[in-house]
Amino acid sequence: MEKSVAQAGFELARFIEQHPRLWVITGAGVSTDSGIPDYRDANGQWKRPPPVQHGDFMASLSVRQRYWARALVGFKALREAQISGAHQALAALEAMGFVELLVTQNVDRLHQRAGSKRVIDLHGRADLVKCMTCHYQMMRHAMHSEMARMNPAFAVLNATHAPDGDADLETDFSTFRVLDCPRCGGILKPDVVYYGDVVPAERRQAAQAGLNKADAVLAVGTSLMVFSGYRFCRDAHAMGLPIASLSLGVTRADTLLSHQWRAPLTPVLTHAVKRLTLGQRALDTHGLPSSQNRQGASRS
């Protein structure tokens, strides 16, 4: 399955030309070049202990103390992350008319910063915090600033960054003061779907509606081990849609794939975009708008 960048990029470009309305799903691999660590290795196994469970976060003050103290250190990775070449390439594909919808399992909002507009944040967004009682909202940076003021001893600590704004920090967290909702005193939680929680129905339905309009699925930088993402590949397979994967390792959907490239994301995507751009220019020089050509092909 491992191929050269040029060969994988050429094959990916052909796949996109043949299926010009893509439903794209992305995962942590898209953001690793942005300095955000991922959760799993090439075999789909955990690199570190699994992230916090929704039920534990809601039920235990000590879990929330540990979470927010570590986030005070680790969220810098998300706050300072820059868009990667993979983000830019996927935004370029949308601008060229090849993306029906991009569904990301990431919570870093880097796709939007790169210019992608047809995006669903399947698992929410880490830069927003919500009260679980009254639904009050505040930006994550404002909450961190206030908790840094409340916990000066923790604010100066350093540790290795971990996925999704976490940090590999282990200490006594019992003195950490957690900020509660300023409106009602309820529990503040990042607007993120934790393990043990469920994707909001309207978000899942919007992703499904996009899938119903698509010609094919392209999974980029994801092992699809989490069911909330894998379910769409299972549905696409039942619909008879081709499913392609570009990643460095195995995926949960390997048996469903029609195309698979185990290769570095940014170089392959960039190569494919260049080939597609050249193809569009060739069509334009012959007087046939490339957008008309793709629309005709998608209806055939």
Domains of the chain: total: 1
pLDDT, residue 151, reads: 97
pLDDT, residue 87, reads: 98
Q: How far apart are the first and last CA of the chain?
A: 30
Is 233 annotated as ligand-binding? Answer: no
Q: How many residues does the chain have?
A: 300
Is 181 annotated as ligand-binding? Answer: yes
Q: Which helix (H) or strand (E) holds 102?
A: strand 99-104
Using alpha carbons, select from 7, 21, 42 the residue that is nearest to residue 275.
7
User: What is the chain's percent helix, strand, coil content, to nearest 5?
Assistant: 45, 15, 35
Alpha-carbon torsion angle 141, 193, 250, 91, nearest 10: -60
Domain with residue 75: its CATH number is 3.40.50.1220
What residues does 137 pair with on adjacent strands? 130
What does the radius of gyration of the chain's CA atoms come to, in whole angstroms? Answer: 21
Host domain of residue 132: 5-299
Annotated catalytic residues are 123
Cβ–Cβ under 8 Å, residues 218 and 253? no
Is 184 annotated as ligand-binding? Answer: yes
pLDDT, residue 298, reads: 37
Residue pLDDT tens, the chain, 300 long:
456 899 999 999 999 999 999 999 999 999 999 988 776 656 667 556 677 899 999 999 999 999 999 999 988 888 889 999 999 999 999 999 999 999 999 999 999 999 999 999 999 999 999 999 999 999 999 999 999 999 999 999 998 887 778 888 999 999 999 999 999 999 999 999 998 899 999 999 999 999 999 999 999 999 999 999 999 999 999 999 999 999 999 999 999 999 999 999 999 999 999 999 987 766 555 554 444 444 433 322
Cα 76 from Cα 181, distance rounded (Å)? 23
